[in-house]
Amino acid sequence: MDSCALELLAMLLFVAAWLCVLASTLLPQWLTMSTALLPVESYELGLWETCVVQDVGGMECRAYDSLLGLSRDLKLSRILMCASLAVGVLGLLVATPGLHMVNSCRGGPKRILTSIGGGAGGRVWSALSRPSVLHGTLGRHAFL
């Protein structure tokens, strides 16, 4: 396999991973709980909204009323996930001119530096979006 195909595969994996992080940021299933008082309902807490899921299939979601009423962990998770998405886009924008298929950087050092910069942006992005760290901080609280 030549280096052009490997670069293209790496960029496609980068975009697919970024889309997965975007989906996990938007979905409300960050923390799922049920209470012993009401066994037919369960609660799904996300970064942006809280949902009540009933056993019969109904689901009602409500956005958080105020940013001031959120816990510190939830605020931190929001900030880190949004920063992760922004750094991921920045990494994609920096790495794209370094591809062999793109003719914007014809010189050797420029192409290498943009590839290294995009790779470094991808590493920072993956460190910011570590689900085990974020899910661990959000899961420590008993919201109900």
pLDDT of the chain, 144 residues: tens digit per residue: 577 777 778 888 888 888 888 888 888 887 788 777 777 888 888 888 888 888 888 889 898 888 888 888 888 888 888 888 888 888 888 777 777 666 655 666 777 777 777 777 777 777 776 654 445 444 444 443
Where residue 27 falls (left for φ over 0; alpha for ψ -120 to 50; beta otherwise) is: beta
**Amino acid 40: pLDDT:** 83
**Amino acid 100: pLDDT:** 67
